[in-house]
Structure 1
Amino acid sequence: MNRTIDILKIIYALFYLVIGLRGIVAYLGLMPTPNFDMSDPARQFQNALAATGFVMEIVSAVFFVAGTLMLFKRTTPLGLILLAPLVVVILFNHLMLQGSAIWGVSHAVLLAVFAWSYRDAFSSLWNYSADR
């Protein structure tokens, strides 16, 4: 795999690991909840998720686990699979609610680049025989 992609993957993984850890620590009450600059519709969406009492905690845990998994070559594909649905939400949050397409698109494009780099790991998903 290309060294540049490896370095980008580590940065991407560390970003999600740290964001997840920060969320976990905040929800444990050990530090204030992160207050990101966002539009009113995006804040309403995030507040609705937080009001469930479990969604943001799960999101933080998945960010942490997926970021950790992506740090290791053997477990990177699983990390990508876990992160993919959340990156889709991030993409549409930035496109539809934030008006900052560059951030959402960059998260999605990087995930797609990493998935393509590990495409051989996913081949059994497409070549699975129902006869098993």
Structure 2
Amino acid sequence: MRWNEIGWNVARCLFGLCLIGLTLSVVIQFDGNHPPEAVEAAADLTGALNRSGFMNPLLIISLLTGGAALMVDRSSPIGLLLVAPAITVIALFHYFLTGSYVWGSIWPIWWAALAWHYRHVFARLWQPSGD
């Protein structure tokens, strides 16, 4: 195995483990609700999401499923597709509501790097069908 492949495998597995670990910590520490936010606008949004009753389970399921899929090379592209909406929301949440640009940038950059690595798989989505 080449060093390049090892690096991509480490990046993929770490991304999956981070998604699983952070999601499980929210489930365990905060009973599946968003953690309290210091910024009022962010607290308003997370409060609304907590009260909705369906967004938090949806986020938890998609992040856990996508993170688990990322742990296996063969299922990594579907894992990236499953976590893409949540990663986008997390990034925009931190950009516009909390002002935490570094924390908001880590996840989409990491996701984009992995998506670029698997671009050969995603390229098939835009190929015309062989009718």
- TM superposition score category, shorter chain reference: 0.7 to 0.9
* Aligned partner letter, 2:43: R
Cα displacement string for residues 75-112 of structure 1 (whole angstroms, at most 9, x for unaligned residues): 00000001111111111111000101111111001000
- Equivalent residues of 1:69, 1:75 under 8 A apart: yes
- Equivalent residues of 2:66, 2:79 under 8 A apart: yes
Query: How many residues end up aligned between the 2 structures?
Result: 128
Distance in 1 (alpha carbons) for counterparts of 2:32 and 2:26:
9
Shift of 1:41: 1.4
* Aligned partner letter, 2:64: F
Residue number in structure 1 paired with 2:59:
59
- Equivalent residues of 2:33, 2:50 under 8 A apart: no
2:5 to 2, 5, 22: 2
- Equivalent residues of 1:39, 1:97 under 8 A apart: yes
Question: 1:11 aligned to 2:14?
Answer: yes
Shift of 1:18: 2.0
Percent identity (aligned): 25
- Equivalent residues of 2:93, 2:104 under 8 A apart: yes
* Aligned partner letter, 2:40: D
Shift of 1:9: 1.7
Cα displacement string for residues 24-53 of structure 1 (whole angstroms, at most 9, x for unaligned residues): 5568xxx58563554221121111111111
- Equivalent residues of 1:39, 1:98 under 8 A apart: yes
* Aligned partner letter, 1:21: L
Distance in 1 (alpha carbons) for counterparts of 2:62 and 2:26:
11
- Equivalent residues of 2:87, 2:108 under 8 A apart: yes
Normalising by structure 2, what TM-score? 0.85
* Aligned partner letter, 1:73: D
Q: For 1:1-132, what aligned pairs fall within 5 Å after superposition?
A: 2-24=5-27, 33=33, 35=35, 37-129=37-129, 132=131
SS of the equivalent of 1:35 reads: coil
Are the structure 2 counterparts of residues 68 and 104 from structure 1 closer, same or farther at C-alpha, using a change threshold of 3 Å?
same
Unaligned segments of structure 2, at least 5 residues:
none
Unaligned segments of structure 1, at least 5 residues:
none
